[in-house]
């Protein structure tokens, strides 16, 4: 199984918006250019994030996208679920009810042990992603990039920052 | 993202083979009938498990499948990786190297923090699945089914058990 590629783009776009919280943001064109990705592709990710309530704005040529919540309240799990959907990875089809020795539905009120094992692992996956919020992520990205690179990005982003009014 | 449906079938087939370890097993036809699934579909899962070294046998009309290792040494992770493949769910495409402020490859020796976050979660997912072995699973399945149901399954499986020689 593979996560939708858009998750990676969406997470990077959100990371760029962190330092601009709470009232500033970037146009779709700037977000696309910063990541060197076609604007329609970036538009798709931003619309998905917007529908999930993680970013807001973006309408029209003068519009811009900004985070919709404090960076500390948006996690890598939120971005995954927004872009990739929140269906479980493993879906139990109640195989235990099939065949000559199948269990009756009334005896299947507890989840099948096999399904429960995969569900528990999926919960561990989600719990791990829920621990990483954008504020923390942004600090670790900055630390990894180093001062020089962060200043370079700031110089590119600075003149392109948009805010209301 | 969704796990290959075959994982569920493969896990159930392995669970049925647990009590027959180490020297006995079931034919493909019996495995398919027990789960009420078309034989070619069950054959596909068993061949995949066989290639991964989790089951062995199965060749010819008189053949049968048996576990290839002690049940305590086969986990839900082994079955997932055998059937669904062991590619990571999240694949980093080095977005940080793109665009006007992109990092140089030589500055990207450590994994991108976003990719590292998703990789850490995936490790938590795998670690959780690796904790559940077929011996443990089989005991919890039996406990959940109850004595009456286990005996019923044993009566169906008994006459169909095959062994070498």
B35 touches chain A (CB under 8 A): yes
**Residue B63 placed within a domain:** yes
Q: What is the pLDDT of residues A99-114, one digit of tens each?
A: 999 999 999 999 999 9
pLDDT at B61: 64
pLDDT of residue B63: 85
Flag whether B98 is in a domain: no
Inter-chain touch A98–B145, beta carbons under 8 Å: no
Calculate the CA dihedral of residues B79, B83, B86, B89 and round it to 10 degrees. Answer: -100
User: How many structural domains does chain A have?
Assistant: 1
Instruction: Provide the pLDDT for residue A164.
Output: 81
Residues B57 and B37: their CA atoms lie apart, in Å, by: 20
| Residue corresponding to tokens 């286990």 | B150
Asked whether residue A156 is assigned to any structural domain, the reply reads yes
Give the distance, in angstroms, between the CA of residue B115 and the centroid of all CA atoms in the same chain.
26
Q: Are the beta carbons of B114 and A5 separated by less than 8 Å? A: no
pLDDT per position as a tens digit, A59-98: 766 689 999 999 999 999 999 999 999 999 999 999 999 9
Whether A134 has a pLDDT exceeding 90, the answer reads yes
Residue A92 domain flag: no
What does the block give as tokens for B126?
Answer: 């795998």
**Is residue B97 domain-resident?**
no
| Tokens describing residue A115 | 């399904």
Substitution target from B6, B125, B150 for chain A, most A beta carbons within 10 A:
B125
Residue B67, SS3 per DSSP: strand
The domain that contains B37 carries what CATH number?
1.10.10.10
Domain interval for residue B149: 5-86+133-163
Coil/strand/helix, residue A10:
helix
Nearest CA distance, B83 vs chain A (angstrom): 10
The answer to whether residue A29 sits within a structural domain is yes
Tokens of B83: 């059937």
Rounded Cα distance between A49 and A28, Å, is 13
Distance from CA of A125 to the nearest CA of B (A): 5
Q: Which residue in this structure is represented by tokens 């009590």? A: B19
Within-domain flag for A115? no
Give yes or no for a contact between A14 and A56, defined as CB atoms under 8 angstroms apart. Answer: no
Confidence at A165, pLDDT banded by 50, 70, 90: low
Q: What are phi and psi of B116, to 5 degrees?
A: -65, -35
Ranking A5-9, A59-63, B74-78, B101-105 by mean pLDDT, the lowest is: A59-63
Instruction: Identify whether A128 is part of a domain.
Output: no
ipTM of this complex: 0.94
């Amino acid at each position: 199984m593979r996560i939708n590629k858009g998750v990676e783009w969406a997470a990077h776009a959100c990371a760029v918006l962190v330092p601009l919280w709470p009232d500033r943001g970037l146009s779709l064109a700037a977000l696309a250019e910063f990541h060197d990705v076609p604007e329609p592709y970036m538009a798709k990710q931003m619309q998905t994030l917007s529908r999930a309530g993680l970013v807001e704005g973006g309408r029209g040529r003068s519009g811009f996208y900004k985070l919709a919540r404090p960076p500390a309240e948006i996690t890598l799990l939120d971005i995954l679920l927004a872009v990739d959907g929140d269906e479980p990875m493993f879906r139990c089809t109640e195989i235990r009810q099939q065949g000559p020795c199948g269990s009756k539905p009334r005896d299947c009120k507890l989840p099948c042990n096999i399904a429960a094992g995969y569900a528990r692992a999926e919960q561990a996956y989600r719990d791990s992603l829920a621990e990483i919020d954008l504020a923390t992520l942004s600090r670790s990205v900055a630390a990894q990039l180093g001062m020089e690179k962060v200043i370079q990005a700031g110089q590119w982003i600075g003149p392109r920052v948009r805010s209301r009014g």
